[in-house]
Amino acid sequence: MAGKIQRLDKLISNSFDYSRSQVKELIKKKKVLVNDNIVLTPELKVNPDSDKIVVDGQNLNYAEFVYYMLNKPAGVVSATNDNTCKTVLELIKNPAKSGLFPVGRLDKDTEGLLIITNDGELSHSLLSPKKHVDKTYYVETDAIITDEMADKLEKGVDIGDEKPTLPAKIEIIKVDNSNTNKAYLTITEGRFHQVKRMFKSVGPTVTFLKRISMSKLMLDESLKPGEYRELTDEELCLLKGE
Ligand code: URA
């Protein structure tokens, strides 16, 4: 993808931990090189993909997009802004980029894996109904999940929409060979309250819900609810299904 032509000072302050005035000072002190030449004009237009930019001895490695893995806690909403509730974006302190948004929604009381990014194209392809991206949830319910219920959930259930849910995968967590009220459910759609409605349609009420994977990317369980970190390159490939 072609890099965006942009102002040198803006690019440097977005890429390093410098304010615009610090960048201006560095430029004045002749500490900024573009293609091996000292630059004295902060407003110079540069292309971060093709211009070699060195700031105080450090190469500027430009990344257009940023990807955070958040372990969403219960009690915050998956929105960019909200008049009454805290949003997932408010959890990201000093974001590396502006224009961040969550990839899809988890309910306010749902925990787990949520990607926060500024990459609209990736978000679109992960959420597209045509792509059938796997999403796996850890589910606790108010009743034992029977094999019969699991069978129905796997085949697809009527949750009051035009069409039944697409085939899903379920693994009931067993203790001493007996079914429990806990399971992993993998779905390929993203309908409103889908997991809760699927369970309700076969009986039990969901009492706890946590997303543990999206595409081939697993939630890093060392992240406590509310914690986040940038994805590694390998994790980004997993998310893209590569
Ligand atoms: N299904 C639900 O019911 N809620 C979520 O937050 C995600 C999937």
CATH of 67-128+217-239, one of 3.40.640.10, 3.30.70.580, 2.30.30.90, 3.90.1300.10: 3.30.70.580
In this predicted model, what pLDDT tens digit does every residue of 32-89 receive, in sequence order?
999 999 999 999 999 988 999 999 999 998 888 999 999 999 999 999 999 999 999 9
Query: Which pLDDT score, from 0 to 100, does residue 1 have?
Result: 39
The H or E element containing residue 13 is helix 8-15
Tell the residue number behind the tokens 């369970």, with chain if given: 199
How far is the C-alpha of 123 from the C-alpha of 119, rounded, in Å? 6
Q: Is 210 helix (H, G, I), strand (E, B) or coil?
A: strand
Give the architecture (CATH level 2) of 6-59: Roll (3.10)
- The domains of the chain are located at 6-59, 67-128+217-239, 135-214
Q: Which residues are catalytic?
A: 107
Q: Binning pLDDT at 50, 70 and 90, where does residue 2 land?
A: very low
- Residues comprising the chain, all counted: 242
Asked whether the domain spanning 67-128+217-239 has the same topology as the one spanning 6-59, the reply is: no
Minimum CA distance residue for ligand 1 atom 2: 193
Identify the band that residue 112 occupies on the pLDDT scale cut at 50, 70 and 90.
very high
Instruction: Give the pLDDT score at 12.
Output: 93
Q: Is 106 in the pocket of ligand 1 (CB under 6 A)?
A: yes
- 193 CB under 6 A from ligand 1? yes
Distances (CA, A) of 149 to 142, 152, 165, 204: 14, 5, 14, 9
Q: Is the pLDDT of residue 17 over 90?
A: no
Mean pLDDT of the chain: 95
CB 103 within 8 A of CB 115: yes
DSSP 35-97: TTEE---TT-EE-TTTS-EEETTEE----S--EEEEEEPTT-BSSS--SSS-BGGGGS-S-SS
- Mutating to test ligand 1, I would choose from 184, 187, 196, 205 the residue with most ligand atoms within 8 A of its C-beta, which is 196
Average pLDDT of the residues in 120-145: 97
Domain 135-214: state its class. Answer: alpha beta
C-alpha distances out from residue 19 to 26, 45, 52, 207, Å = 11, 18, 21, 46
Nearest residue to 68 (alpha-carbon basis) of 124, 139, 122, 6: 122
Dist. CA 220–CA 49, nearest whole Å: 31
Provide mean pLDDT across the span 175-187: 98
169 has a pLDDT exceeding 70: yes
SS3 132: coil
Predicted confidence at residue 147, as pLDDT, reads 98
pLDDT at position 3 over 60: no
